[in-house]
Amino acid sequence: MSSSPLWNPLKGSGVIFDWDGVLAETRLDFSGIRERYFGGKRAAILEEMSLMDEEKRRALSEEIRAIELAGAEKAVPVPGSREVVDLVSKAGIPWAVVSRNCPESIELAARTIGFKLPVHTFHRESGPIKPSPEALWMAAEAIGSTSTECTVVGDFVYDLLGARRAGMRAVLVERSSVDWGHWADVSYPRMTDFLSALMNEDPIVPWEYHGLVSERGLSWLTSAWNVSIALPELWDEAILNSLMNLAGLGVGRFTVKTGTLAFDEWRGLPWLSPKDLERPKAFVLARILKKRYPKVVVEECEEGLSLSSLEGDLVNGLERHLS
């Protein structure tokens, strides 16, 4: 079990960087395109383009490409970006670039700023694009990382939403205040601020515990993290709901008696998949909890507080134990 619920990108197994606005600044302006094609409204341009007829789609694609190439010719490095990449590399952590830009513009911008692109550089012609989680899963697999151990560094909502959907950590940079910033695990106004945090090895509160820490403080989370809860032998919907709530209260470890999920138990839990039938209960519980709380640990043993000892009042029962 991890000794802390906190995390740091340099303790992971992979980093995925966005390109434009994170490593290279090209100051792309698509306002004209939005005006001509979408009546001035903000739109997911690439996604909307795929729904257009072929002639209109081709014309829009060429306009986007022209804007990206023009920006690439004038690209400048984002201050602090090289140092962040160097720090990640020196830590032995593999990294990739995943962008929604066309490949030619990425390559041109890299030449313009003298930046060596990694072998694993993905663009909109590589396959799925952000915020589709497949775009990030593809990159993570290429660098030998896993979702729960990978960090996405970006400057736009698609980076953050993609990271959340992919089960990865999300770092927002080069933005001071945006209404979608809540999707990030942590935000830094400048890449240089992110660099300083990495150099200081600042621990970061995971996104899934932001509300808990805001309400109850960091000391509650770090204390609750060391609590182990032992499950009863038979499960029902109320028990699993309680476990999910306890995970949300910061409990870091759940223990399960050796055994598989029997048909009668499974039938009483209609939201479980048939794939869970006769699977080890520890496997099933880990699958359930880790979707929302990826750092929790589920083990086959009989250690820990019994769920019944909390007397049905999870918050007060846990608080009594922590005090």
Say which residues have a Cβ less than 8 Å from residue 128's Cβ, sequence separation at least 6.
134, 135, 138
Partners of 97 in beta bridges: 17, 121
For tokens 């341009």, what's the residue? 45
Residue 2 lies in a domain: no
The CATH number of residue 198's host domain is 3.40.50.1000
CA distances from 231 to 149, 246, 262, 298, 302 (A): 27, 12, 15, 10, 8
End-of-domain residue from the set 204, 239, 273? 204
End-of-domain residue from the set 157, 176, 204? 204
| pLDDT, the chain, mean | 93
Residue 298 lies in a domain: yes
Out of 77-91, 160-174, 259-273, least confident range:
259-273
Query: What is the tally of structural domains in the chain?
Result: 3
Distance from chain centroid for Cα 301:
30
Q: Looking at residue 180, what is its pLDDT? A: 94
Tally of CA atoms within 13 A in the half-sphere of 255 that contains its CB: 14
* Torsion over CA: 181, 184, 185, 186 (sign): negative
CA distance 93 to 40: 42
Q: What range defines the domain where residue 48 resides?
A: 28-73
Partners of 280 in beta bridges: 260
Say which residues have a Cβ less than 8 Å from residue 306's Cβ, sequence separation at least 6.
229, 230, 232
Asked whether residue 1 carries a pLDDT value surpassing 70, the answer given is: no
In this structure, the answer to whether residues 104 and 190 fall within a common structural domain is: yes
Q: Looking at residue 2, what is its pLDDT? A: 60
Indicate yes or no: pTM above 0.75: yes
Whether the Cβ atoms of residue 277 and residue 320 lie closer than 8 Å to each other: no
The CATH number of residue 308's host domain is 3.40.50.720
